């Protein structure tokens, strides 16, 4: 029995070898049929394992993609935070340099609220009576004059900006020493009023505090002249002044104790 099985297996092997190695002109059709039958399970097996491998790799790629996406989000947030901290440090360093180079006893404060309308232009700062910030305390920034405190509580104060319509600052033209009064206009500009028609004043002139006041010390930069016009009645000149401080981006100030 074993011999018969061995002989039968040997015949099949010899027949397969004969089909495979025989020239095409003799047994091309049997050879082709045999190869197609033998190739089919191999092809199916290869396709099956290829799909399994693709599914495994796809799962890994999805996980890797999610991890990379989350990592990018974290790094983006950290970069934004670092930039904000760097900008804040730069502003504080500038204020510190201003403090060292100008008047002593300056108290730093952050801006915690704003109020801008046709009737007022004010900010609220994070220092009050506990820090000796009282009414008429002068408030400045690195670039120049901000305004004065007109209301103070224990831990915060309200500051009237120089652009407020109720603001008045005695000022002087730095170049020609012409004296005038800077008024707020409820906009981003101020006006230097009551200048004689013969006043020596030019566009670009710096306007500073005159010191002829019980509130504002002398020599603090208010702004620069951007336009000169006649008063409506034609008896004097009016200079439009752009404040030195950019109030829309102001975040920290210094209070002159």
User: What is the length of the chain?
Assistant: 257
Q: pLDDT tens digits, residue range 55-103?
A: 556 656 666 666 676 666 666 666 656 665 776 677 777 766 665 555 5
pTM of the model: 0.62
Give the pLDDT score at 54.
57
| Residue 243 pLDDT > 70 | yes
CB neighbourhood size of 126 (10 A) = 17
Domain ranges of the chain: 2-56, 106-256
Q: Cβ(236)–Cβ(185) under 8 Å?
A: no
Task: For residue 8, give Cα distances in angstroms to 5, 13, 35, 113, 250.
Answer: 5, 9, 20, 99, 98
| Residue 224 pLDDT > 70 | yes
Q: Cβ(133)–Cβ(142) under 8 Å?
A: no
Q: pLDDT tens digits, residue range 8-50?
A: 555 555 555 555 555 554 445 555 555 555 555 556 555 555 6
Give the pLDDT score at 16.
56
| CATH no. of 106-256 | 2.40.10.350
CB neighbourhood size of 155 (10 A) = 12
Q: pLDDT tens digits, residue range 92-151?
A: 777 666 655 555 578 999 999 998 776 789 999 999 999 999 999 999 998 999 999 999
Give the pLDDT score at 117.
73
Q: pLDDT tens digits, residue range 146-188?
A: 999 999 999 999 999 999 999 999 999 999 999 999 999 988 8
| Residue 138, beta-bridge partner list | 148, 256
SS3 of residue 217 by DSSP? coil
Q: At what angle do helices 24-101 and 2-21 cross, to 10 degrees?
A: 80
Q: Distance (Å, rounded) from C-alpha 148 to C-alpha 145?
A: 9
| Residue 192 pLDDT > 50 | yes
């Amino acid at each position: 029995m074993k011999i018969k099985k061995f002989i039968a297996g040997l015949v099949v092997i010899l027949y397969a070898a004969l089909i495979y190695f025989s020239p095409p002109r003799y047994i091309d059709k049997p050879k082709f049929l045999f190869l197609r039958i033998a190739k089919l399970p191999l092809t199916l097996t290869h396709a099956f394992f290829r799909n399994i491998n693709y599914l495994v790799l796809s799962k890994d790629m999805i996980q890797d993609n999610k991890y990379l996406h989350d990592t990018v989000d974290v790094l983006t947030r950290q970069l934004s935070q670092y930039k904000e901290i760097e900008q804040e440090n730069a502003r504080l360093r500038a204020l510190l340099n201003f403090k060292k180079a100008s008047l002593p006893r300056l108290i730093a404060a952050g801006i915690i609220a704003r109020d801008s309308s046709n009737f007022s232009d004010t900010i609220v700062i994070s220092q009050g009576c506990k820090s000796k910030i009282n009414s008429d305390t002068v408030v400045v920034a690195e670039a120049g004059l901000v305004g004065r405190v007109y209301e103070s509580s224990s831990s915060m104060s309200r500051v009237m900006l120089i652009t407020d319509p109720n603001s008045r600052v005695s000022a002087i033209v730095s170049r020609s020493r012409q004296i005038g009064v800077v008024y707020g206009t409820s906009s981003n500009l101020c006006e230097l009023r009551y200048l004689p028609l013969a006043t020596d004043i030019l566009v670009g002139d710096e306007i500073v505090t005159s010191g002829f006041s019980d509130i504002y010390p002398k020599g603090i930069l208010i702004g620069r002249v951007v336009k000169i016009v006649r008063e409506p009645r034609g008896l004097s000149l009016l200079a439009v002044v752009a404040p030195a401080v950019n109030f829309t981006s102001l975040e920290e100030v210094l209070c002159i104790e």
